[in-house]
Structure 1
Amino acid sequence: MSADTGELDLLRPRLAELGREPGPADVAGEMRRLGWVVTDESLLHTMEALRRDATGAGPLDPLLRLPGVTDVLVNGPEHVFIDRGQGLERVATRFADDDEVRRLASRLAARVGRRLDDSSPFVDARLPDGTRVHAVLGTLADPGTCLSLRVPAGRRFSLQDWVASGSLPAAGAELLRQLVACRAAFLVSGGTGSGKTTLLASLLSLVPAHERLLVVEDSRELSPDHPHCVRLEGRPVNAEGAGAVSLTDLVRQALRMRPDRVVLGEVRGAEICDLLTALNTGHEGGCGTVHANSAADVPARLEALAALGGMLPDALHSLAAAALDAVVHIRRDGDGRRLVAGIDVLVRDGRTVRAVPAVGFGPRGLRKDEGCAALERLLAR
């Protein structure tokens, strides 16, 4: 008999009465009491199922171990998807019911001291192994409890890896190397799951070894291959509604830690005000990522985020014009492949800043655009 789909509920009550971690002999004895056929294979299978259900990610564990998986998404008990870099794929994995999804989500949240129940029906946290977990209970979501797992990269990607995969032409990789080398301040823009963080980590790995990186993130995802990297991670409120550490707090702390480059893993709120202020006070080479549909949308996105910090549009555009040099945009094509689209330069246009296309990247190499001369001046400084 399989112990994968509900039969574990028959095993748990007696095993729980032991008051200790059950061993193979305990599990085998309970299996025999239930009339199950006990073989070496069935015992190992049941022990593994119990381990996954108690400490792992339950039926999602095998999916998390698949090569190349970056995301595992659960939409209620019957709809499970994975992303292996080619877009979302539906898989055969199922849960018995919504209660099973909810139990798994609650247990994952509890592993990092977070609560997930009717009084706190959603959670965003990072597990000890670096996996980012987000959950929304079925009381708010249809078709049931939703669980999103973002898997940390199993290896670091170099720019050469991007070239080898066809996501970036070799000449484009050389321009990005020059962008880092000239200590330009830039943002990597793109949609959710487009690969912004992975690309930024690849670029940070090009920073000279003698420079000190201060990386500020809401949830730790950036892991550049660099010998002198200090990573600061924000903290949400605890169950008592206290103890939060915002990205704004961490950006201010990072500036006191003698950084050569300040990196904001993702610009998503009022912390943009502090970052732009820092980049205007001698901290060259700063960078980060931002959600945007295109590089042209980045100035408007920054304006909206700065408003959360009480900064007026004119002030934002003045600071951005002086602090930021370029935007590197990344997107997904129709097949889900990640592609670096090109580089835009940020230029002052009256009282506002706009992103001007400088170089586009395509299967045939580089395509020069309106801002190419400005980009060449930037790289030559």
Structure 2
Amino acid sequence: MSTHVQTQQSSRVDPALLEIVRESLLADGGRVTDARIARAVRASGHVLGAGGTLHAVRSIRAELTGLGPLEHMLPQDGLTDVWINGADDVWWEAGAGPVRVPSPFAGDDEVRALAVRLISSAGRRLDEAHPCVDVQTPDGMRVHAVLPPISTGGTLISVRFRHRDVITVDDLVNSGTVSAEVLGLLLAATAGGANLLVTGSTGAGKTTVLNALLSACPVDERIVLIEDAAELRPEHPHVVGMQARHANVEGSGAIELAELVRQSLRMRPDRIVVGECRGAEVRELLTALNTGHTGAGTVHANSARAVPARLAALGALGGMTSEAVALQAGSALDLVIHLDRRGSRRALQTVALLDEKDGVLHMSSACRLVTSGSGADYEHGPAWQRFLDLAERGERR
């Protein structure tokens, strides 16, 4: 028997003990803690000794609140994603690209049970009537699960972990995400009240960069965050957040991002920030930024050049014509910051300004990342001087 298989088996907890502890915790109610688990283990009558009790507590906690048998295999630092593609196919990423690892699951029943528990911890249901569910758990994990037969290869679970530590502006430079010069200009423009649109693909670093920029906002500002899943955590003294709510099992109770943007206008915000504009909320954000408010948002886009088309598509979901989107966006947005991901490396690719002409939205590059044999650096574009003017306005402020 391999060492890995032995480790997997040794990490598993006695099912009978697990069930006893589970029932004890449910009967008492309240938050699951190591101390409560240890008391329930001792009360069960199982004689484990100090070392055995500690192992049981860790294993039971993983089964009740973590990722079950996978929990003990996870790297301690840098973990961003875990993907379980059925019982035999497990991957994770910890900063160096996706890595396939041996599966600790005995069968799809274990994967399904884990998926149901993770979804239930966020107050939602995962079953035949609701086979595809996306939630954020109480400890901040974003979990998406799909059951067969919608999934053709067993139960699918995708987990994204929130950074334990806030990424600073120094971290962005040290990691090569952006040069010190461009970052300094972005920070100055943000502090001066520039309206930002941060774009890129999934995992490109949009939230990370926006977090760092918002942390540089003046301390006398009141920042209101509006998100589908709470991920933004800027280091700023006055931040309030609102999170959208999905409909319950009866199909009622949903609160959409667009409604939250409207609500934020009554909260005397100095800066309104919408994470992940995906639909009609882009109309509300553009309207707010055209009526004296300062703010920012993130949008999924394949490239900076694709942003006008992407905004037009999102605006259409909110009942806006492409001309209306161009007029609103051209007036509301000062800077577009596009990020890209190549393998494990995330980099700011383009800083651009939006211009509206004859009802059409155009991108004008301020700078873009150029890679050559001697390395990578930012090449100035036709809107470079306008970018400098925005930064200077912030520096004067």
Q: Structure 1 length normalisation: TM-score?
A: 0.90
Q: Tell me which residue corresponds to 1:230.
A: 240
Q: Give the CA deviation at 1:339.
A: 0.9
Q: Which amino acid aligns with 1:294?
A: S
CA distance in structure 2 between the aligned counterparts of 1:377 and 1:55, rounded to whole angstroms = 51
Q: Which amino acid aligns with 1:373?
A: Q
**Alignment pair present for 1:204 and 2:214:** yes
Indicate which of 108, 130, 137 corresponds to 2:118: 108
**Alignment pair present for 1:288 and 2:285:** no
**Alignment pair present for 1:174 and 2:184:** yes
**Alignment pair present for 1:192 and 2:210:** no
> Taking structure 1 as reference, are residues 238 and 374 closer, same or farther at Cα in structure 2, changes over 3 Å only?
same
**Alignment pair present for 1:339 and 2:357:** no
> Taking structure 1 as reference, are residues 13 and 131 closer, same or farther at Cα in structure 2, changes over 3 Å only?
closer
Q: Which amino acid aligns with 1:24?
A: R
1:176-325 correspondence to structure 2 within 5 Å: 176-284=186-294, 286-325=295-334
Q: Give the CA deviation at 1:298.
A: 0.8
Q: Which amino acid aligns with 2:362?
A: R
Asked if 2 retains the 8 angstrom alpha-carbon contact of 1:328 and 1:344, the reply is yes
Q: Tell me which residue corresponds to 1:50.
A: 60
CA distance in structure 1 between the aligned counterparts of 2:61 and 2:170, rounded to whole angstroms = 39
Q: Which amino acid aligns with 1:227?
A: P
CA distance in structure 1 between the aligned counterparts of 2:20 and 2:134, rounded to whole angstroms = 34
**Alignment pair present for 1:24 and 2:42:** yes
Q: Tell me which residue corresponds to 2:383.
A: 371
Asked if 2 retains the 8 angstrom alpha-carbon contact of 1:125 and 1:134, the reply is yes
Q: Which amino acid aligns with 1:247?
A: L
> Taking structure 1 as reference, are residues 17 and 204 closer, same or farther at Cα in structure 2, changes over 3 Å only?
closer
CA distance in structure 2 between the aligned counterparts of 1:104 and 1:169, rounded to whole angstroms = 42
CA distance in structure 1 between the aligned counterparts of 2:137 and 2:10, rounded to whole angstroms = 24
> Taking structure 1 as reference, are residues 100 and 26 closer, same or farther at Cα in structure 2, changes over 3 Å only?
same
The alignment covers a number of residue pairs equal to 371
Stretches of structure 1 that go unaligned for 5 or more consecutive residues are: 30-37
CA distance in structure 2 between the aligned counterparts of 1:13 and 1:352, rounded to whole angstroms = 63
Greater alpha carbon shift after TM alignment, 216-225 vs 371-380: 371-380
Greater alpha carbon shift after TM alignment, 343-352 vs 18-27: 18-27
CA distance in structure 1 between the aligned counterparts of 2:250 and 2:10, rounded to whole angstroms = 37
CA distance in structure 2 between the aligned counterparts of 1:62 and 1:297, rounded to whole angstroms = 42
CA distance in structure 2 between the aligned counterparts of 1:39 and 1:208, rounded to whole angstroms = 55
Q: Tell me which residue corresponds to 2:127.
A: 117
> Taking structure 1 as reference, are residues 262 and 113 closer, same or farther at Cα in structure 2, changes over 3 Å only?
same
Greater alpha carbon shift after TM alignment, 180-189 vs 53-62: 53-62
Q: Tell me which residue corresponds to 1:34.
A: none
Indicate which of 340, 353, 363 corresponds to 1:355: 363
Residues 94-151 of structure 1 show CA distances to partners (whole Å, capped at 9, x for unaligned) of: 3111111111111111112100000001111111111111111132113211111111
Q: Tell me which residue corresponds to 2:170.
A: 160
Residues 298-341 of structure 1 show CA distances to partners (whole Å, capped at 9, x for unaligned) of: 111111111111111111111111111111111112x3211111
Indicate which of 130, 136, 144 corresponds to 1:134: 144
> Taking structure 1 as reference, are residues 310 and 91 closer, same or farther at Cα in structure 2, changes over 3 Å only?
same
CA distance in structure 1 between the aligned counterparts of 2:59 and 2:387, rounded to whole angstroms = 56
Q: Give the CA deviation at 1:354.
A: 1.5
Indicate which of 85, 92, 109 corresponds to 1:82: 92
SS in 2 for 1:162: helix
> Taking structure 1 as reference, are residues 287 and 13 closer, same or farther at Cα in structure 2, changes over 3 Å only?
closer
Q: Which amino acid aligns with 1:336?
A: S
CA distance in structure 1 between the aligned counterparts of 2:285 and 2:195, rounded to whole angstroms = 11
CA distance in structure 1 between the aligned counterparts of 2:81 and 2:19, rounded to whole angstroms = 33
Q: Tell me which residue corresponds to 1:32.
A: none
Residues 185-235 of structure 1 show CA distances to partners (whole Å, capped at 9, x for unaligned) of: 111111001111111001000000001101100110000000001101100
Q: Which amino acid aligns with 2:355?
A: V
Please, what is the CA RMSD of the aligned residues?
2.3
SS in 2 for 1:28: coil
CA distance in structure 2 between the aligned counterparts of 1:119 and 1:4, rounded to whole angstroms = 36
Q: Tell me which residue corresponds to 2:33.
A: none
CA distance in structure 2 between the aligned counterparts of 1:27 and 1:173, rounded to whole angstroms = 60
